[in-house]
Amino acid sequence: MSIPVVTQLGRMTLALLAMIGAVTSFAARAIRHGLQPPYYRQQILRQVLEIGYYSLPVVGLTAIFTGMVLALQSYTGFARFSAEQAIPNVVVVSLTRELGPVLAGLMVAGRVGAAMAAEIGTMRVTEQIDALTTLSTDPFKYLVAPRLIAGILTLPVLVLIADIIGVLGGYLVGVYKLDFNDSTYLRNTLDFLQFQDVFSGLVKAAVFGFLITLMGCYHGYTSKGGAQGVGAATTNAVVSASILILTFNYFITEAFFAR
Amino acid sequence: MSAPKISLRGVTKAFGAKPVLRGIDLDVAAGESVVVIGGSGTGKSVMLKCILGLIRPDGGSIRIDGEETVGLGDGERTQVMRKFGMLFQGGALFDSLRVWQNVAFGPIQSDGMAPAKAKDLAMAKLANVGLGPEIGELFPSELSGGMQKRVALARAIAREPEIIFFDEPTTGLDPIMADVINELIVKCVHELGATAVSITHDMASARKIGHRIAMLYDGRLIWQGPVAEIDHCGNAHVEQFINGRAEGPIQMQVRKL
């Protein structure tokens, strides 16, 4: 009885290690190609538009409601200790350090990571990636590197915008529902905000941008077996990117704030 | 005699425990058109992709113009790739780009040609395969299968390659369109003076576009010779295949390679 369990465990461990190895070498190859010319500027721009601009509505809505609910929830907690004046600070620090980058990352993983895996996966199964190679165009340079570069550059901007919209959400609830004085709310928001809070969030965003696009490209690039394979690639891209975002979020937080 | 344009020696490839190519020897002279026939799942595509460098063989040697290409680095590989054109089975057109951008892709992205000039070139290549300029502005998904094949052919010849590969050029087409494609292939290869390697299981196509035919079976080339000799080759496997008989020495492959 115990032998099959051990066998299964061993198999899963080996599969996991093989996967980590494959992803790492894929990432190394992508980075190496991303740093060397030629750079496909149009492809990068297209991806910036895709990842950044078209994600604005989703990320904006997520941010504003998160900011609003943060203000509301912290009020119910802090009112018991008459510490309502801490609310603006709680809202802005939670948003910039954690919720901005993590929620924006998860939303973009669902939106962009899935689309990327589906697009590249379809290109794989219809031999378009092989066709690129036969036209002397390196698929890593043409398909993968522009997406990674766009992800790393765009996510921080997206998160900065999410931070601002989120704070606005908190402000609206604070001023119009919780009867804060509007200038006091803004002063409290800015006075306690430290550069480190925003900066750590933007570093997270850049890392998440890399992880989302890497997972989208990796699962798409390695997909096989027609429509079913592309479907699996899409799911795997979103799930693995989400897990990696939450994992890396902890370690980056520890690197910045652990004493 | 000069070195063959393409020369394969003892090329082997296995996927996992399953050997697909068990030692392929093939020479293709410059300007010659060789057609490799064989059933589905006998490794024809794998052989083609090995020559193209899309799959790395486990063993053996593949020489292009006398130069060994197995194990080349990225940069040298790109140089060799410049000599190749490839018509994929499904066309493999980039569906996010317009037809003319597909044809002009190689010239623009790899050779640095100015887009305006490349567009003229693309339109000329499309005309070569019998497509008018209005087709150039469409997207591949708006075209029928036969039209997509034509566009793919125009793309394959756009950079005037020395060697062109055809992967099942007539599969999925009606007999008339298949013949149109065959004629275009013969015409284009002749005009370019290119060397051609095709794989197919369509005997009508093989007879039309090939000078020489080779039959792949069980990972080896079991017969090769001029097209005219194939009907009297005396090889039971080849005869079963070209006559399309279910009874014979060839057993159907169940699993995909």
Tens of pLDDT, residue by residue over B79-137, are 888 889 999 988 899 988 999 999 999 888 878 888 888 888 889 888 888 888 888 89
Chain A (135-154) residues lying within 8 Å, Cβ to Cβ, of chain B: 135-138, 142
Strands B84-87 and B163-167: parallel
Compute and round to an integer the Cα radius of gyration of chain A.
21
Interface probe for B, chosen from A50, A128, A135 (most Cβ of B below 10 Å), is A135
Q: B6-83+161-243, what's its fold?
A: Rossmann fold (3.40.50)
Interaxial angle between packed helices A114-125 and A195-221, expressed in degrees from 0 to 180 and rounded to the nearest 10: 20
Torsion sign (Cα): A53, A55, A60, A63? negative
Q: Which of A40, A127, A142 sits opposite B88 (nearest CB)?
A: A127
Interaxial angle between packed helices A100-108 and A56-78, expressed in degrees from 0 to 180 and rounded to the nearest 10: 140
The alpha carbon of A42 is separated from its chain's Cα centroid by a whole number of angstroms, namely 23
Q: Which of A130, A136, A137 sits opposite B92 (nearest CB)?
A: A130
Partner B contacted by A131 (CB < 8 A)? yes
> Dihedral of the CA atoms B2, B4, B9, B15 (nearest 10)?
160
Contact at CB, A136 and B155, closer than 8 angstroms: no
pLDDT recorded at residue A239: 95
pLDDT recorded at residue A147: 94
Task: Please report, for residues A68, B5, B156, the alpha-carbon distance to residue B81 in angstroms, rounded to integers and kept in the order given.
Answer: 57, 14, 12
Q: What is the DSSP letter of A54?
A: G
Distance, in angstroms, between A126 CA and closest chain B CA? 6
Rounded Cα distance, B150 and B103, in Å: 11
Lowest-confidence region among A113-122, A223-232, B242-251: B242-251
Q: Which of B92, B110, B159 sits opposite A128 (nearest CB)?
A: B92
Q: Which of A126, A130, A135 sits opposite B110 (nearest CB)?
A: A135
Task: Residue A259: count other Cβ atoms within 10 Å of its Cβ.
Answer: 2
ipTM over 0.90: no
Rounded Cα distance, A233 and B142, in Å: 27
Q: What is the DSSP letter of B248?
A: S
Which residues of chain B carry a pLDDT beneath 50?
1
Strand order in the sheet with B6-15: B18-28, B6-15, B59-64, B67-68
Chain B: residue whose CA lies nearest to A131: B92
Q: Which residue has the higher pLDDT, B13 or A82?
A: B13
Chain A residues whose beta carbon lies within 8 Å of the beta carbon of residue B159: 135
Chain B: residue whose CA lies nearest to A130: B54
Lowest-confidence region among A21-25, A178-182, B154-158, B230-234: B230-234
The alpha carbon of A25 is separated from its chain's Cα centroid by a whole number of angstroms, namely 21
pLDDT recorded at residue B76: 81
Task: Please report, for residues A210, A232, B152, the alpha-carbon distance to residue B33 in angstroms, rounded to integers and kept in the order given.
Answer: 47, 41, 19
Contact at CB, B110 and A138, closer than 8 angstroms: no
